[in-house]
A and B are shown apart, each in its own frame.
Chain A
C-alpha cells in the first residue's frame, strides 16, 4: 500500500497521483483509498457512509440517554400538595395499552425484512461493483420486495403508535396528566419522529430503484438505512422496557 517514492529533492514538494485502483485500505490508516480523483470506489463509499451513520447515531443515543436520566430523576421527586400540605408523589404509573406489544412485533418483523433487503442489494452491488458504474439493468434486478415490505410495516407501526396514543388518551392519560404520561408521549413521540426519518430514507432508496440509479449507490442507501432501522428497533425495545418495567 505504502508505495510512495523517496527520491524527490527537498526543494520540490513531492506529490503523487494516489494508488490507482489499489485495494481499499483499512479504515483510518491515513489513506482514503481514493481511486484517482473521480468518484471513490464502492467499498470506500460504503465504509464512509457507514462510518457517517455510526457517528450520526451518537447524538440520537445521547438524546435518549438524556431523556432517560430526566425520567429517572423526575420519578423520584416529590411535590407539595396544597390541599393536605404534605409532600406527595405525583408520579402515577401509566398502564400501557396492550397495542404497544403488537406494534413491537410489527417493528421487529420489519427489521427482519430490512435485513433481507439489505443483504439482497449488497449481493447485487458486489456483483456489479467490479464493473464501471452505469444505470441498473431493468427486470428482476430492479425489484425490491423486502424493501417494500419494510416500508409498509414501518408505516403500520407508526399508525399503531398513533392508535396507542388515542387509547392512552381514552383511558384518561394526556400529556400533562402526570409526569409518567408526559414521558410516555415524549419517548414514543421522539422515537416515532426518528423512525419517520428511516421511512424517508427507505423511500429514497425505493426512488433510486425507479430512477435506475446504479446498484452500488442504491445498495449504500439501503445498507445505511438498514442499520439505522435496526437501531430504531433496538431503541424501541429499550423504550418499551423502560416504560413497562421502570414505571
Chain B
C-alpha cells in the first residue's frame, strides 16, 4: 500500500506528526480554532486600549505609552485586521468547518490533507507577519482594515506606513493563499466525498454554509490578492495604479494618474463577500441548533438552502454600497442601493424560518441554544440598520460615523462570535469527550449578550449625533465632547463584557480536564458526527463507511420510537 496518497494515510505516531504537522482534518481544525482564540484575545486587547484612550485621552497605556493619534490608528488597523481575517474568517470556517465538514458528510478526511495542513500553516505565518508589524520601525500601519489608497500606498504618508504597511499587505496576501487552499479542500470534499446516500439535499445546513462560504472565498480572495500585488508595486516599484498626483508634506511623490477608487472597487469586491464569509457558517450552525434544541425539523429546509445560495450570489453585486461617498454616479449608486436592499430578502427568509423553527417547539434552553437564539437576535438588530445605510442619501451622512461601526459590529462581529461560541459549546463534547460546565456557560451567555448590546446600541445614537469613526479623540470638538458620557458608558460596558470572556476561557480549559464525561450523542442530534465515537477516531468512523438514509432534521417523527431519527437510521418518509 502506498502512503503518499493522502487521505488513506495511517494514524501518525510521533508528537510532531500527530499534533504539529498533522494531516488529520480534526487536528487541523483545532489548530485553526486555537489560532483564532489567540488572535481574538490580541484583538480584544487592542480594542480595550482604544476604549480607554477614548475616555481618558491622556492616560499612559501598557506597551504603547501615551497614545498619539497615529498610535490610535495603528491600534484600530490591527484590531480590525486581526478580527476580520484571523478570527471571523478563521474560526467558523477553518476551525469548525475543518473539523466537522468531513464528519458530517461521512468522509474519512478532507480531499487533499497535505494541502489542508499547508493551508493552516500558511494562515499561521500570515498571523506572525501581521503581528510583526508592531515591532518594526514606525510600528503598525494606519490605514484601517480596508487599507484605502493613497494612504496605504505611500511609505512616506506616516509612521507605520513604511515597513509596517508592507508587512500588513504581505500578511494579507499570505492569508489569501491559505484561505484559497482551504476553500479548494472544502469544495472538493463536499462535491466528491459524501457518503453513500448523502445527497446534496440531505446535507446539514452547516455543510451548505461551509460549502457556499468556500465558494465565496474562492472568488473573492483572488481579487484581494491582485489588489495587494498592485499595492505592493505602487509602494515599492514606483508604479501608479492607485496613487494620483499627490504631495506628502508639500513634496511631490512622483506618482501620477493612479486611482484610489480602483483600490476601493477591488477591495470591496472582496470586502462585501468577506462579510458573508464571516457570517454564513454561523447562519448554518444556528439553523442546525435551532432545529436540534427545538426538537423540530428546520422550517423550510429548501428555502434555507436557496437563501444561502442567493445571499452568496447577491453578495458579489453590492460592493458599491461601501462607496456611496466616493462621488459615484447617482445612477450607479441607485443600482447598488437596490441590489443591497435585495439582499435583505433572503436574509429575511432565513430569519422567518428560524422563528418558524422555534414556533411550537419543545425548546431546550441549553447553552448552545442560548447562543443560537442570541445570534438570531443580533442578526436582526444588526441587520435592520443595513437598509438605512443602503440608501445613498442617508449613507452620505452616516458613512463616516459610529452608526456604521454599530451596524457591522452587531451583525458581523458579535453575531459571528456568537456563532463561534454556540459551536464551541455544542461540539465541545465531541471534540474533547467532556461536557462544558453549564452554569458557567449560562453566566457567560447572559453577561456577553447584555454586554454586547450595551456596547454597540449606544453607538447608533453616538453616530447619528455626528460622532465620527476613526478619530482618536473628540475632546476638542464641542458638540462631540458633549457626547462624552455615551463613550464612557460604552467603555464601562466593554470592561465588563471583556472580563466575562475569561469565564469562557476558564470553562474551556477546565472542562477539557475536569468536565463531566460526555456520551456519544449528548444533544440527541441526528447528524453523522453523533454516530461515531467521542472523540472521533483517526478515520472518523473507525473503519466503517456510514450510509445515509434520512435528511438531517428528522425530529419528533410521528411513530418513531425516539424523538429523533439519525441520518443513518432506517429511512423514514421525508416530510419536506
Contacts and interface: CB of A to CB of B under 8 A. Distances in A.
A240 to B, nearest CB: 19
B2 interface: yes
A6 B573 CA distance: 13
Contact of A17 (B200, B265, B544): B544
A138 interface: no
A48 B258 CA distance: 43
A186 B226 CA distance: 10
A7 B549 CA distance: 12
Given A8-B570, A10-B569, A186-B233, A63 B225 contact: yes
A175 B229 contact: no
Interface of B: 1-2, 4-5, 7-8, 107-108, 111-112, 180, 183-184, 187-188, 191-200, 202, 218-223, 225-227, 229-230, 233, 237-241, 244-245, 252, 256-259, 262, 265-266, 269, 531, 539, 541, 543-549, 560-562, 565-566, 568-571
B199 A6 contact: no
B226 A30 contact: no
Contacts of B191: 27-28, 51
Nearest to B557: A10
Interface of A: 2, 4, 6-11, 13-19, 27-32, 34, 37-40, 45, 47-48, 51-52, 55-56, 58-63, 65-67, 69-70, 73-74, 77-80, 82, 90-91, 133, 175-176, 179, 182, 186, 190, 213-214, 217
Contacts of A52: 111-112, 184, 188
Given A31-B195, A37-B539, A13 B1 contact: no
Given A55-B184, A73-B259, A175-B239, A10 B194 contact: no
B258 A74 contact: yes
A74 B262 contact: yes
B192 A30 contact: no
B1 A39 contact: yes
Contacts of A10: 560-562, 565, 569-570
A8 B198 CA distance: 18
Nearest to B257: A79
Nearest to B570: A8
Contact of A15 (B112, B184, B545): B545
Nearest to B244: A79
Nearest to A3: B196
A31 B546 CA distance: 10
B8 A66 contact: no
A25 B543 CA distance: 21
* Central interface residue in A15, A37, A65, A176, by most chain B CB within 10 Å: A15
Contacts of B549: 4, 6, 14
Contacts of A37: 8, 108, 539, 543, 545
Contacts of B257: 74, 77-79, 90-91, 179
Contact of B568 (A14, A38, A66): A14
B8 A38 contact: yes
Contact of B218 (A11, A58, A182): A58
B239 A182 contact: yes
A48 B192 contact: yes
Nearest to A76: B259
Contacts of B8: 37-40
B549 to A, nearest CB: 7
A80 B2 contact: no
Nearest to A64: B226
A93 to B, nearest CB: 15
B184 to A, nearest CB: 5
Given A10-B560, A55-B187, A62-B223, A30 B200 contact: yes
A15 B547 contact: yes
Nearest to B226: A66
A11 B562 CA distance: 8
Contact of B241 (A19, A31, A70): A70
A179 B239 CA distance: 7
A13 B229 contact: no
B569 A13 contact: yes
A90 B192 contact: no
A47 B192 contact: yes
A131 B541 CA distance: 28
Contacts of B245: 79-80, 82
Given A74-B241, A179-B240, A30 B202 contact: yes
* Central interface residue in B221, B226, B233, B256, by most chain A CB within 10 Å: B226
A48 B188 contact: yes
Nearest to A220: B5
B232 to A, nearest CB: 11
Contacts of B571: 6
Nearest to A186: B233
A56 B450 CA distance: 43
10 contacts: A13-B531, A14-B568, A19-B196, A30-B195, A34-B108, A39-B5, A47-B192, A65-B223, A91-B257, A182-B239
A32 B570 contact: no
* Central interface residue in A6, A13, A38, A186, by most chain B CB within 10 Å: A13
A22 to B, nearest CB: 10
Contacts of A8: 569-570
Contacts of A2: 196-197
* Central interface residue in B2, B200, B233, B269, by most chain A CB within 10 Å: B2
A106 B93 CA distance: 43
Contacts of B238: 175-176
Q: 4 shortest A-B CB distances, which residue pairs?
A: A79-B257, A62-B222, A59-B222, A176-B238
Given A27-B191, A30-B199, 5 more contacts: A15-B544, A59-B183, A63-B226, A66-B223, A66-B269
Contacts of B266: 66, 69-70
A190 to B, nearest CB: 7
Contact of B192 (A27, A65, A82, A217): A27
B547 to A, nearest CB: 5
Nearest to A45: B5
Contacts of A55: 183-184, 187-188, 218
B194 A32 contact: yes
A90 B222 contact: no
A38 B1 contact: yes
B530 to A, nearest CB: 9
B119 to A, nearest CB: 12
B256 A58 contact: no
